[in-house]
A and B are shown apart, each in its own frame.
Chain A
Amino acid sequence: ETGVTQSPTHLIKTRGQQVTLRCSSQSGHNTVSWYQQALGQGPQFIFQYYREEENGRGNFPPRFSGLQFPNYSSELNVNALELDDSALYLCASSGQINEQFFGPGTRLTVL
């Protein structure tokens, strides 16, 4: 157990809908990163938040957005869902050394 929790564990949405995924970071960690992992692939970096500010972004469109709260928990929001958004969404928290501790993930299915 890494101490990183994600909710919900599974989610089913339809095309065009919006979704919010949540992540609670490990105690003492001020950085949260979000990844999308399609079936059979490695995780793809979406973005990172450090002390409530976006601190880097991967190659994802603006309909992927996020927030980090004062307690360092974080949300990932995806608007206008597409079928290809179906994936496992992972968050990872890290402290001063960039060793990332991953949560169990949220499996999103878009129908």
Chain B
Amino acid sequence: SQQGEEDPQALSIQEGENATMNCSYKTSINNLQWYRQNSGRGLVHLILIRSNEREKHSGRLRVTLDTSKKSSSLLITASRAADTASYFCATDLNNNDMRFGAGTRLTVKP
């Protein structure tokens, strides 16, 4: 069963705008990870945030984690057409069981 739920399911923005995707989950976690997937290919790891962290940055990516609300957000600033992909959050329950959401499909129009 899926643990994480991304919101929105689909997002369409213009190049240069910011994109925000949200993830909610149900149970306690060790960490939460965000992945990107280009159409039908393997997933690329973007960022990992541990349960005792509240915010993390990597280049144009900013991830927040609110364990009291069991939610996380991924912000992509100054989006580019090449950012077009599906984005998934995955919760790490006990180091051998990663649960993915259904993903947010992001389209960035040039």
Contact = CB atoms under 8 A, between A and B. Distances in A.
A and B interact physically: yes
Interface of A: 2, 4, 31, 33, 35, 40-45, 48, 50, 55-56, 58-59, 88, 90, 92, 97-105, 107
Given A2-B44, A102-B43, A105-B41, 20 more contacts: A40-B102, A41-B103, A42-B4, A42-B88, A43-B100, A44-B2, A48-B96, A50-B96, A56-B96, A56-B97, A58-B97, A59-B1, A88-B40, A92-B43, A98-B31, A98-B98, A99-B48, A101-B45, A102-B45, A104-B42
Interface of B: 1-2, 4, 30-31, 33, 35, 40-45, 48, 88, 92, 94-103
Contacts of A48: 96-97
Most chain B beta carbons < 10 A, residue from A35, A42, A56, A90: A42
Nearest to A104: B42
10 contacts: A42-B4, A44-B100, A45-B97, A55-B96, A58-B97, A98-B31, A98-B95, A101-B45, A104-B41, A105-B40
Contacts of B92: 98
A105 B42 contact: yes
A45 B45 contact: no
Given A42-B2, A42-B88, A100 B95 contact: no
B45 to A, nearest CB: 6
B96 A42 contact: no
Contact of A102 (B44, B99, B103): B44
A107 B1 CA distance: 21
The 7 closest A-B pairs by CB, nearest first: A56-B96, A42-B100, A102-B42, A102-B43, A104-B42, A43-B100, A48-B96
A14 B4 CA distance: 33
Nearest to B94: A56
Contacts of A31: 96
